[in-house]
């Protein structure tokens, strides 16, 4: 009798368990899936999420660059909770924590850039010292160095003139940061509105000439980072002078 009751209870438990909805396996919240985006509303929804994701990705990359890596799963959980108004943190706590993190990123970025600019300055000085000894390299009183790759004809431009040039700019490690050749579009500009190394160097050229300039950082962008150019970078330019337009 006891055995029969035990068997009935066990069977009842199994039947009840089978009737209960089973939990679905959790999906990886970081897995990217290709979704069918058919209606405009679906596309707008996805686009909003993508734009927010790109902003977050940019911040994460900046943090990673200074060796601060957040937990991506917790980040996603925090986003979902915040979107539903169920954050475990108060608005004040969220604001304070984000301000602290931003301050840490700024301080670490500042320290890394300071170290990089010091290293760039030393590397530039060593390069220019050695480069000045090469045959064909001329150095001016300002520290600008240049090579004549092709002579031109006629007069040289004045500071007040506008010049039209083709050029390519690289860092000491060979990284190309700008090129009118790549754009297939010569650049025109007043000679008074460019870096000191260009203002001085182009006045040494004549129309049709092609020079190679080695410009120390103090005649370029100095200690500030400009686009792809790190602070205190010595720059190398190949420049062709195509046209000279007198002021006025």
Under 8 Å CB-to-CB from 162, ≥6 apart: which residues?
188, 189, 190, 191, 244, 245, 247
For 65-115, what is each residue's pLDDT tens digit? Answer: 899 999 988 998 999 999 899 999 999 999 999 999 999 999 999 999 899
How high is the pLDDT of residue 8?
A: 45
Higher pLDDT, 6 or 188: 188
DSSP 146-169: EEEEE--BSPPPPTTSEEEEEEEE
Rounded to 5 degrees, φ, ψ at 134 are -75, 145
How high is the pLDDT of residue 9?
A: 39
How high is the pLDDT of residue 97?
A: 95
What confidence tier does 31 reach under pLDDT thresholds 50, 70, 90? confident
Q: Is a pLDDT exceeding 60 seen at residue 21?
A: no
Q: Which of 140, 137, 163 is nearest to 152 (CA)?
A: 163
Q: Which helix (H) or strand (E) holds 58?
A: helix 40-65
List strand residue ranges (DSSP E) for the chain, in order. Answer: 138-139, 145-150, 162-170, 176-179, 187-190, 210-215, 235-245
For 155-186, what is each residue's pLDDT tens digit? Answer: 999 999 999 999 999 999 999 999 999 999 99
For 37-62, what is each residue's pLDDT tens digit? Answer: 999 999 999 999 899 999 999 999 99
Across all residues in the chain, what is the average pLDDT?
Answer: 88
């Amino acid at each position: 009798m006891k055995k029969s009751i035990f068997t009935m209870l066990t069977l009842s438990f199994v039947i009840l368990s089978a009737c209960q909805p089973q939990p679905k396996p959790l999906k990886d919240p970081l897995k990217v899936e290709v979704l069918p985006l058919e209606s405009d509303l679906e596309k707008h929804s996805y686009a909003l999420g993508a734009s927010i994701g790109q902003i977050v990705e940019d911040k994460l990359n900046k943090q990673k660059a200074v060796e601060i890596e957040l937990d991506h799963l917790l980040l996603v959980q925090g986003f979902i909770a915040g979107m539903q108004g169920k954050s475990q943190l108060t608005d004040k706590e969220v604001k304070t924590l984000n301000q602290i993190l931003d301050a840490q990123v700024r301080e670490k970025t500042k320290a890394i850039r300071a170290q990089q600019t010091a290293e760039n300055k030393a590397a530039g000085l060593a390069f220019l010292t050695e480069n000045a000894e090469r045959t064909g390299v001329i150095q001016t009183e300002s520290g600008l160095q240049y090579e004549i790759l092709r002579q031109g004809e006629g007069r040289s431009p004045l500071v007040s003139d506008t010049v039209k040039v083709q050029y390519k700019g690289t860092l000491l490690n060979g990284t190309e940061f700008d090129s009118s050749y790549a754009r297939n579009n010569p650049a025109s500009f007043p000679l008074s509105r460019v870096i000191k190394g260009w203002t001085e160097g182009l006045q040494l050229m004549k129309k049709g000439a092609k020079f190679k300039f080695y410009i120390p950082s103090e005649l370029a962008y100095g200690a500030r980072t400009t686009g792809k150019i790190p602070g205190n970078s010595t720059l190398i330019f190949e420049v062709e002078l195509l046209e000279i337009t007198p002021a006025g």
